[in-house]
Amino acid sequence: MELFLMTLTTGVMVGGIYALIALGWVLIYKCSGVLNLAMGELTLIGAYVCLSFYTMGIPFLLALLFSLIIGFILGVLTERIFLDKLIGEPVLTVIMVTVGLSFFFKGIVELIWGTDTRVFTPPVFPLKPLHIGPLIIGQVYLWSFIAAIVLLFVFVGFFQYTRWGLAMQATADDEMAALSLGVSARFVYATAWAIAFMAAGVGGTLLGNINGLNISVGYLGLLVLPAVVLGGLNSVPGAIVGGIVIGILQNLCGAYLDRYFPGGVKEIAPFAFMAIFLLFRPYGLWGWERIERV
């Protein structure tokens, strides 16, 4: 029971970080209907930018703020340079461009930072674990989870109570109606990419504090896809719930199945779950069901 509780708690905390990255997937899909397959590399770039600032001696919170600003700028530039001309083109064309962007960004990361594992030195979070009853919780997990949840509330508040956030929701619900009311689709798409860059970068930074930072963090960004599918590709609350569920599932499989099936059950389980889940709920828990009449 102690192992189960510790695994469950760690899964919830890691799932909060996954939820933050999943938010980036959902934003771009909600606004443009495009599945951004470069999300793993956005996670990677944001994490390395924050690490670079931190190794210069800048305090972590300030380094994170600088990485958010750079993430916003990079998101806008990416949309303007690579995707702006594709507005109105078939969705498959835009998806293939994001595939190309994933390889392009990965090459940039390898060129600038290399492929060796790097860690935040000195450690950002205390190394001494917390003892809560029978549970032993690493402080890096606890504080990363708290940071992820706070940022999730900030982003959700942005969509609910700001003019820009409402414009993005209006465009996602009915693009033609939003355009008729004077909402700029180009502005909405650029903002969606900017926020996706920011959310993914923070998620990558928190994951890098837990496991160290190398090129495989980009794969962890892709691991969030099952969480997005579970919650629904266009549901922000679904991204939060899906991230936590996938975090729990991954940790439970690692604790109980890796001993019987060594070789990466922990990494395979979320995708196996996604394939089975899609057989019964193709639109996820809170996704929009598309009904076409002919």
pLDDT computed for residue 105 by the predictor: 92
Whole-angstrom distance, CA of residue 104 vs CA of residue 271: 25
Q: Which amino acid is at 201?
A: G
Residues of the chain short of pLDDT 50, as ranges, are none
Q: Within 13 A of 132's CA, how many CA atoms are on the CB side?
A: 9
pLDDT at 25: 85
Query: Mind listing the pLDDT tens digit for each residue in 81-129?
Result: 988 888 767 878 888 999 999 999 999 999 999 888 898 888 888 878 8
Residue 275: per-residue pLDDT:
87
pTM, rounded to two decimals: 0.86
Which three-class secondary structure string do you get for the chain? Answer: CHHHHHHHHHHHHHHHHHHHHHHHHHHHHHHHCCCCCCHHHHHHHHHHHHHHHHHCCCCHHHHHHHHHHHHHHHHHHHHHHHHHHHCCCCHHHHHHHHHHHHHHHHHHHHHHHCCCCECCCCCCCCCCCEEECCEEECHHHHHHHHHHHHHHHHHHHHHHHCHHHHHHHHHHHCHHHHHHCCCCHHHHHHHHHHHHHHHHHHHHHHHHHHHCECCCHHHHHHCCHHHHHHHCCCCHHHHHHHHHHHHHHHHHHHHHCCCCCCCCHHHHHHHHHHHHHHHHCCCCCCCCCCCCCC
What is the reported pLDDT for 292?
Answer: 53
% of residues, the chain, pLDDT over 90:
16
pLDDT attached to residue 58: 93
Domain 2-280 carries which CATH code? 1.10.3470
pLDDT tens column, 186-224? 888 888 888 889 888 888 888 888 878 888 888 777 788
**pLDDT in the model for residue 175:** 67
Enumerate the domain spans of the chain: 2-280
Residue type, 186: R
For position 190, what pLDDT does the model report? 86
Give the pLDDT of residue 83.
84
